[in-house]
Amino acid sequence: MNDIYNNMHKISSEIKACILSEALPYIRKFHGKTIVIKYGGNAMTDSNLQRSVANDLVLLKLVGLKPVLVHGGGPQIDNALLKIGKKGSFIEGMRVTDSETMEVVEWVLGGQVQQDIVMMINEFGGKAVGLTGKDGTLIQARKKLIPSKEDVSKFLDLGFVGEVDKIDTSVVKALQNDQFIPVISPIGYGEDGTAYNINADLVAGKLAETLKAEKLIMMTNTSGVLDKNGKLLRNLTEIEIERLFNDGTISGGMMPKISSALEATKNGVNSVHIVDGRVHHCLLLELLTDQGVGTMIS
């Protein structure tokens, strides 16, 4: 990141002014609009990328956008599980979560990871507030069962893995209107108070739908959605996505991400962007410049 800043000093003032002026129509277009961002991957584990994201969020808030951050924390959960002698297992990109694992998930996501993000945003001059599904009844959840690939009449029990039953955005809107940046951990709660681990991509998608967000941005460890030859697909439609599902091009951890993206575009979100979270200031590049850094689904 220091190399980026060093190179910036070499750019003339005129070029810097042109770069800033390019952002003006996007600032005007998205002013007052909600942008939901799913934060995960390398951007959560590389300190320079962490600071880049925090900086971008504060800048977006200051120029009038309303960012809402939903974070993951897979690597952090895996590290915490290893310390107690457990190894994470996954089915179709979703973590199998027994009661002991759920305790770790709550501690890591709702505590360590969330507070690190909040403090970093605050250090850059923003005002962030951390939330879980329990706050303001934000995320009401139910147990998730997935069909078995071997026998579609049977369902696989993933333990304390949930899906979104209902989202109440009143606490999020109250924070947005009071100039705060909400930072949300993907933990939902059932009617009986049972905590559920929910895929962060699914939470981000449902939250974007409920908030009628202008955009949903999902950060990944790839340059976007790739075809079987590794070529970046810059724009995708519903029909094209179905084909990529059917031929196995989209699989593994990308499946819940793209499913959420597709569902969001069907339910009021103008566009979804799968962006490369390994690129410094990818949020600014995607939102405030002519050339994005990933795949757009609309």
**Among 34, 56, 33, 30, which residue's Cα sits nearest to residue 43?**
56
Which of the 8 DSSP states describes residue 278? T
Q: ∠ CA(167), CA(214), CA(275), 5° rounding?
A: 95
Residues 6 or more apart whose Cβ sits within 8 Å of residue 59: 284
What span, in angstroms and rounded, lies between the C-alpha atoms of 118 and 244? 37
SS3 290: coil
DSSP-derived secondary structure for 129-186: EEE-TTGGG-EEEEEEEEE-SS-TTSEEEEEEEEEEEEE--HHHHHHHHTT-EEEE--
Q: Annotated binding residues, as ranges?
A: 73-74, 95, 197
Residue 4's Cβ-side half-sphere holds a number of Cα atoms within 13 Å equal to: 7
**Among 195, 167, 199, which residue's Cα sits nearest to residue 71?**
199
26 token code pair: 């996007």
What is the number of other CB atoms lying within 10 angstroms of the CB of residue 1?
A: 13
**Among 20, 65, 72, which residue's Cα sits nearest to residue 45?**
72
SS3 216: strand
Q: Annotated binding residues for substrate, as ranges?
A: 73-74, 95, 197
Asked if residues 277 and 69 have their Cβ atoms less than 8 Å apart, the reply is no
SS3 8: helix
What is the number of other CB atoms lying within 10 angstroms of the CB of residue 17?
A: 10
